[in-house]
Amino acid sequence: ALSIGVIVDDAIVMVENAYRHLADAQQIEENE
């Protein structure tokens, strides 16, 4: 059960990092 929670936590972190990366890329494109 604990391993599933760790996998879910990792997945959430990965999604948040990917979303931040996409948001930053969009901001950079708008600034140019």
d(CA 4, CA 1): 5
- Domain tally, the chain: 1
Range of the domain at 13: 1-32
Quote the pTM value.
0.58
**pLDDT score, position 7:** 95
**pLDDT score, position 5:** 92
List alpha helices for 1-32, DSSP H: 2-31
Per-residue pLDDT tens for 1-32? 789 999 999 999 999 999 999 999 888 877 77
**pLDDT score, position 26:** 86
